[in-house]
Amino acid sequence: MKKLSVLSLIVVFITTASFTLLQNKPWNVPADKAKVANAVKTSPASVTAGKALWNQHCASCHGKTGLGDGTKAAQLETAPPDFSKAAFQGQTDGAIFFKTSEGRGDMPSFKKKIADQEDIWNLVNFMRSLKK
């Protein structure tokens, strides 16, 4: 029985460590995807549309203003990043679009939930408005 408990602890540790290491890896975006230009010009209408999508799909984890302080953030294995910081804002629009569409780990894919690519571009335009 003692061996079974030790074995169970080892399995839990390895699984948790593997998941954590995966989540802490840099999120590399394929170069061709990172170079994709934003298909929607930034405008008040685009940012407003993006904000509505943000409130519906993103704020629960990323927070109302993108600080990573949403109501569900504490439940995640990986803390959501602060979108107002240079590390996020320094990414290309194509990289942000790719990450939003594809997801990884705790970050779900939104390519089916937000099927219209123009809407994801509106979301990218809203995320750009979160910089300090």
Domains defined for the chain, CATH in brackets: 28-128 (1.10.760.10)
> What gap in Å lies between CA 86 and CA 131, rounded to an integer?
8
Tokens in use for 83? Answer: 């979108």
Sorted by sequence, the CB contacts under 8 Å of residue 93 that are 6+ apart come out as 36, 37, 38, 121, 124, 128
- Tens place of pLDDT per residue across the chain (132 aa): 666 665 555 655 554 444 444 456 899 999 999 999 999 999 999 999 999 999 999 999 999 999 999 999 999 999 999 999 999 999 999 999 999 999 999 999 999 999 999 999 999 999 999 987
Q: Do the beta carbons of residue 75 and residue 68 sit within 8 Å?
A: no
Residue 87 CA from chain centroid, whole number: 13
| SS3 label, residue 104 | strand
